């Protein structure tokens, strides 16, 4: 464990609590401007005490013993510092005090937790998820380095104040590109990952209390952008002559009609196309992100796109249903397609998934439970975030309700009239 520590020891007499002109001696240990005091359980007469030299000035036997004792304390504290350094332990004023008093224990640190987490979950979590964890861990250790002047901190020292300061650190952190700040929801994700690791430490009994008990995350709800029916039609009507744009357009449209994400589409193989219990063609796969099973009955447009690339499979040009283009290039080419089709929105591949949930399914009366199942969500609440019901659907539903209520009102009026005439 690397540290850039500054270490010092000061022996002082507690003059403010002196009695009969005698005061207790203390040793003050300072490491990186953080200090602790250690009671030495010995008194000195203030008339013979030199605070600048930190020693007794007269030359009798008691004075020699006291000064010798002070030299021993300094030597022992320095030895404690050297031992911790030689053992590669984290050096703090508290750690030196505990080593000197013989009360130090084997405490786990944040870096210990990070190492344990990454070793334990490297095979359980997807590589992209682990990548996100390592980014969060980088910010955590950078914060510790900046705030605590050390490369590590004990888990026992984590508290609510640490979390508040870490959040502030992230909110004031400027990313290199254009010096832009980290977004609120991204900050909450970093803190969420720290929380999962700290919970792991709590379950391992590495800490006795959970510092997150009073901490509340504050995610900002964001609108999920999707294509309108006309915008989707504009893309479908577009016939690019450039091969790369044609492929990207087809992949995007396929996602709009299946709700399958980019990473899952490019891994689809002929084996994923099956005949369902209804006799129709289905896509059966798993979401890479969550390993959740996904079963989607194919609409006619999606079937046409699969058939369009069958010859490539037969000719062994590809093993997948569609040609593979990197996600970065795909989103770049979508910007070109958006310009040609007159779409002003920031067109990304993930927008196709939102479009499937809204324009293609929910707005056409497909129940949200069915949409949630096809999207591979385990909770309806997740689908409610991704799948907004577009305004035309809301308008149609409310107009139908108005018609129903007007009909009931007319029937009540007729009943009242008939009663009055009789």
Q: Is residue 214 part of a domain?
A: no
Pair 337, 234: CB distance under 8 Å: no
Beta bridge partners of 285: 294
Please write the tens of the pLDDT for every residue from 275-319.
988 999 999 999 888 888 899 999 999 999 999 998 877 666 778
The count of structural domains within the chain is: 4
Q: Is 223 helix (H, G, I), strand (E, B) or coil?
A: coil
Q: Is 338 helix (H, G, I), strand (E, B) or coil?
A: helix
Considering the domain architecture, whether residues 272 and 370 belong to the same structural domain is answered as yes
Pair 155, 110: CB distance under 8 Å: yes
Considering the domain architecture, whether residues 284 and 336 belong to the same structural domain is answered as yes
**If pLDDT is split at 50, 70 and 90, which confidence band does 334 have?**
very high
Q: Is residue 211 part of a domain?
A: no
| Cα–Cα dist 91/140, whole Å | 19
User: Minimum mean pLDDT among 31-40, 47-56, 84-93, 282-291: which range?
Assistant: 84-93
pLDDT for 420 beyond 70: no
**Entry pTM:** 0.61
Q: Is residue 374 part of a domain?
A: yes
**If pLDDT is split at 50, 70 and 90, which confidence band does 1 have?**
very low
Considering the domain architecture, whether residues 132 and 185 belong to the same structural domain is answered as yes
Q: Is residue 223 part of a domain?
A: no
Contacts 24+ apart (CB under 8 A), 204-211: 204/116, 206/108, 206/112, 206/113, 206/155, 207/155, 207/156, 207/158, 208/156, 211/158, 211/159, 211/160, 211/162, 211/163
**If pLDDT is split at 50, 70 and 90, which confidence band does 149 have?**
confident
Considering the domain architecture, whether residues 121 and 250 belong to the same structural domain is answered as no
Q: Is residue 186 part of a domain?
A: yes
Listed in order, strand segments (DSSP E) in 33-92 are 34-45, 49-50, 55-56
Please write the tens of the pLDDT for every residue from 217-276.
887 776 678 999 999 999 999 999 999 999 999 999 999 999 999 999 999 999 999 998
Q: Residue 197 belongs to what domain range?
A: 110-203
Considering the domain architecture, whether residues 361 and 313 belong to the same structural domain is answered as yes
Last residue of a domain, one of 143, 168, 203: 203
pLDDT for 400 beyond 60: yes
Considering the domain architecture, whether residues 331 and 362 belong to the same structural domain is answered as yes
Matching residue, tokens 């929380």: 195
The full DSSP string for 59-74 is -SHHHHHHHHHHHHHH
Considering the domain architecture, whether residues 235 and 377 belong to the same structural domain is answered as yes
Last residue of a domain, one of 101, 128, 157: 101
DSSP 29: E
**Sequence-ordered list of residues with C-beta below 8 angstroms from that of 338, at least 6 positions apart, any chain:** 344, 345, 347
**Sequence-ordered list of residues with C-beta below 8 angstroms from that of 42, at least 6 positions apart, any chain:** 24, 25, 66, 69
CATH number at residue 269: 1.10.443.10
Considering the domain architecture, whether residues 314 and 355 belong to the same structural domain is answered as yes
Considering the domain architecture, whether residues 77 and 123 belong to the same structural domain is answered as no
Considering the domain architecture, whether residues 240 and 93 belong to the same structural domain is answered as no
Highest mean pLDDT among 98-107, 212-221, 328-337, 402-411: 328-337
Last residue of a domain, one of 82, 101, 120: 101
Considering the domain architecture, whether residues 133 and 194 belong to the same structural domain is answered as yes
């Amino acid at each position: 464990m690397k540290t850039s520590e500054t270490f010092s020891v000061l022996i002082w007499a507690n003059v403010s609590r002196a009695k009969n002109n005698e005061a207790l001696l203390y040793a003050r240990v300072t490491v990186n401007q953080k200090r602790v005091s250690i009671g030495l359980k010995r008194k000195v007469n203030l008339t013979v005490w030199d605070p600048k030299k930190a020693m007794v000035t007269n030359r009798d036997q008691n004075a020699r013993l006291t000064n010798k004792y002070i030299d021993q304390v300094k030597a022992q504290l320095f030895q404690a510092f050297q031992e911790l350094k030689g053992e590669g332990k984290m050096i703090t004023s508290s750690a030196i005090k505990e080593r000197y008093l013989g009360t130090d224990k084997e405490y786990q640190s944040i870096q210990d937790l990070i190492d344990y987490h990454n070793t334990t979950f490297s095979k359980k979590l997807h590589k992209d998820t682990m990548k996100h964890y390592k980014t969060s861990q980088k910010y955590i250790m950078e914060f510790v380095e900046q705030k605590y002047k050390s490369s590590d901190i004990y888990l026992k020292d984590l508290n609510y104040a640490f979390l508040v300061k870490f959040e502030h650190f992230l909110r004031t952190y400027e990313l290199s590109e254009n010096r832009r700040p980290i977004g609120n929801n991204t900050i909450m994700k970093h803190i969420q990952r720290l929380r999962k690791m700290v919970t792991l430490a709590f379950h391992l009994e590495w800490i006795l209390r959970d510092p997150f008990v009073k901490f509340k995350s504050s995610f900002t709800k964001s609108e999920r952008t999707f294509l309108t029916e006309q915008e989707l039609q504009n893309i479908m009507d577009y016939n690019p002559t450039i091969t790369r744009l044609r492929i990207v357009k087809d992949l995007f449209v396929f996602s709009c009609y299946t709700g399958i994400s980019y990473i899952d589409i490019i891994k689809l193989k002929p084996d994923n196309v099956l005949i369902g219990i209804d006799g129709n063609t289905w896509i059966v796969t798993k979401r890479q992100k969550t390993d959740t099973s996904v079963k989607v009955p194919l609409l006619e447009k999606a079937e046409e796109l699969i058939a369009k690339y069958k010859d490539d499979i037969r000719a062994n040009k590809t093993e997948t249903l569609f040609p593979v283009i990197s996600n970065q290039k795909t989103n770049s080419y979508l910007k070109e397609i958006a310009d040609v089709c007159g779409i002003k929105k920031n067109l990304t591949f993930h927008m196709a998934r939102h479009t499937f949930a809204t324009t293609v399914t929910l707005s056409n009366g497909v129940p949200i439970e069915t949409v949630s199942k096809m999207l591979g969500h385990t909770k309806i609440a997740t689908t409610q975030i991704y799948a907004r019901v577009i305004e035309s659907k809301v308008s149609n539903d409310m107009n139908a309700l108005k018609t129903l209520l007007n009909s009931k009102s007319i029937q009540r009026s007729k009943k009242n009239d008939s009663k009055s005439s009789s």
